[in-house]
């Protein structure tokens, strides 16, 4: 039974790292004393140890310990024996590249399908989709495949932004980019705004947080989903 929290971001404006999620995480990881952290996305290229320390400081506020997957000799065994798992944000290309390089993507998928509680933020949420193809990140490395865990039947566009009325910016909007994607691909995309997350209990997917999310499907007009509704594709 899948037990996942798929969040758009780790940090909302004016708040600390994971602060807005900590009340939810306290209940979510209630049966776990130690959280396995996957720091492969390494935002800004920061070292794994430093990134793990950031996560550890946040989880200490709810009396949880954190250990990085890079601290284990056998990352597969670390995943299989984990009480809870957290994959942080950063660069999705590098995250996926490292998951393939260390040969743990399938192990992670199978472990999560058997019920180990999992939190993903940003890049760590992107990998829960069918592919990573709706990331906002620059392709700084070339992973062996864009295929990810397919724990949910659609892709995530994290940090989804709406057009700003009156803006003079002439670049493409997120909606434009996703429409470009749907010229060639059928997989639905959920634009997940910062401060929102998905609660996945087995096959039931529920939008949580205070904001709506924008669902894009090929050859259909996008629709807004209200918080608290089940996401059905």
Residues with catalytic function? 122, 137, 159
Tokens read off for 144? 């062996």
Buried b (16+ CB within 10 A) or exposed e, 44-61: eeeebeebbbbbbebbee
* Maximum alpha-carbon separation in the chain: 53
Element (H, E) at 206: strand 204-208
Tokens read off for 89? 């944000």
* Residue carrying structure tokens 């899948």: 2
* Residue carrying structure tokens 């946040």: 58
Q: If we measure between CA atoms, which residue out of 86, 107, 76, 6 comes closest to residue 40?
A: 86
What is the rounded distance in angstroms from the CA atom of residue 211 to the CA atom of residue 39? 27
CB 18 within 8 A of CB 58: yes
What is the rounded distance in angstroms from the CA atom of residue 173 to the CA atom of residue 216? 14
What is the rounded distance in angstroms from the CA atom of residue 99 to the CA atom of residue 132? 12
């Amino acid at each position: 039974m899948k037990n996942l929290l798929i969040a758009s971001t780790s940090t909302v404006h004016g708040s600390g790292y994971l602060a807005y999620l900590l009340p939810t995480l306290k209940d979510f990881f209630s049966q776990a004393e130690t959280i396995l952290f996957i720091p492969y996305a390494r935002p800004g290229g920061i070292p794994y140890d430093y990134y793990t320390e950031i996560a550890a400081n946040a989880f200490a506020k709810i009396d949880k310990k954190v250990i990085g997957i890079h601290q284990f000799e056998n990352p597969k065994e670390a995943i299989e024996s984990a009480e809870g798992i957290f994959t942080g944000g950063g660069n999705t290309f590098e995250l996926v590249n490292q998951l393939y390089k260390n040969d743990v993507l399938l192990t992670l998928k199978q472990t999560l399908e058997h019920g180990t509680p999992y939190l993903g933020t940003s890049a760590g949420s992107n990998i829960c989709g069918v592919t990573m193809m709706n990331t906002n990140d620059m392709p700084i490395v070339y992973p062996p495949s864009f295929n990810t865990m397919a724990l949910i039947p659609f892709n995530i566009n994290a940090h989804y932004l709406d057009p700003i009325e009156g803006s003079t910016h002439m670049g493409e909007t997120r909606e434009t980019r996703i429409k470009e994607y749907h010229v060639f691909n059928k997989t639905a995309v959920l634009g997940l705004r910062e401060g929102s997350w998905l609660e996945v209990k087995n096959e039931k997917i529920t939008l949580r947080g205070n904001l709506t999310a924008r669902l894009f499907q090929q050859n259909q007009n996008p629709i807004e989903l209200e918080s608290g509704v089940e996401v059905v594709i």
